[in-house]
Each structure stands twice: as structure tokens, then as C-alpha cells.
């Protein structure tokens, strides 16, 4: 499968896409995979979630995780990031930035506040050790 052309192409793709799938390790050894909004800045994926989420419990036990970002329409592209995810205190303004990638600013702020008040929020900083990329606009499978 053809990789993305260069780091600039990867960066552009990660700025275009808004939803990833975060995979973590359940206590019984199975994988928990769930969609999550993200913001990619300076080589770090910033993810927001609720305190009681399964992914939080999993990451407290094992910080190893995988993040999949994909475009499912033609031309198909994807990034698979392997690395470590750290639970950090929620940064409300960063949470709003993440949500603004999908919703208008005023809706993002209100939604973030509602989630904070109802569930309690934490952030995840995911630092990839390596990334695998695929870009079918560069040709078919090898």
C-alpha cells in the first residue's frame, strides 16, 4: 500500500480529519476500540473524554494504545499511530478547540460545559512512537 508522500501530507490529513478510533487494552486482554474526537498539534494527539469512560480505566492500567484516523471515501487514506497515552487534567479551552473542529464555536463551548458538569472530563495526550500511513491517491495496493 502506498504511504503518504511526506510529513506535510500527513500533517494536512490530520488537520482535515476530526474523528479517530482509539484502541486500548481491556483487563481481560481484549481490545476496546471507540471513536473519539482529536486535535493534532506539534506531534501530539489531544483527545477529550469523560472520567468514567472505559478507555480511561484501560489507560490507567496500560498506557500503550493505537489510534486510527481514516478517510473512508475515495481517495482512501489512513494513519495508524502506535504509542503511549497519558491521562492529564482536562484543559477546558483545548476541549473547546477539539469540539470546534466538528461544531460551531458557541455550540462547542456549551457542549463542553454540559459534558464537564454532567460527567467530569479528562484529557488524553497521545504521543506516537511511530505512524503508518496509507494514501491510495498515490496508486493501488502493492
User: Cα-atom radius of gyration of the chain, to the nearest Å?
Assistant: 16
pLDDT at 141: 45
The alpha carbon dihedral of 98, 99, 102, 108 has a sign of negative
Q: Which residue reads 496500560 in cell numbers?
A: 62
Grid coordinates standing for 107? 455550540
- Mean pLDDT value across the chain: 91
Q: Sorting pLDDT into bands at 50, 70 and 90, what band is 91?
A: confident
Distance separating the N- and C-terminal Cα atoms of the chain: 5
pLDDT at 140: 53
Contacts (Cβ under 8 Å, ≥6 apart) of 111: 99, 103
Exposure b/e, 41-79, CB count within 10 A at least 16 = b: eeeebbbbbeeebebbebbeeebebbbbbebeeeeebbb
Per DSSP bridges, beta strands 77-89 and 19-25 are: unpaired
The model's pTM:
0.89
> Greater confidence, 77 or 1?
77
The DSSP code for 52 is: T
Amino acid at each position: 500500500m502506498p504511504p503518504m508522500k511526506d510529513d506535510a501530507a500527513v500533517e494536512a490529513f490530520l488537520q482535515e480529519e476530526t474523528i479517530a478510533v482509539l484502541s486500548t487494552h481491556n483487563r481481560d486482554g481484549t481490545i476496546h476500540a471507540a471513536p473519539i474526537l482529536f486535535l493534532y498539534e506539534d506531534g501530539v494527539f489531544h483527545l477529550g473524554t469523560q472520567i468514567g469512560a472505559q478507555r480511561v480505566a484501560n489507560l490507567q492500567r496500560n498506557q500503550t494504545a493505537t489510534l486510527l484516523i481514516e478517510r473512508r471515501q475515495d481517495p482512501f487514506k489512513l494513519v495508524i499511530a502506535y504509542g503511549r497515552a497519558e491521562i492529564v487534567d482536562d484543559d477546558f479551552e483545548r476541549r473547546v478547540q477539539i469540539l470546534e473542529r466538528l461544531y460551531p464555536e458557541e455550540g462547542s463551548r456549551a457542549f463542553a460545559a454540559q459534558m464537564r458538569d454532567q460527567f467530569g472530563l479528562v484529557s488524553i495526550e497521545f504521543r506516537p512512537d511511530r505512524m503508518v500511513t496509507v494514501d491510495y491517491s498515490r496508486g493501488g495496493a502493492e
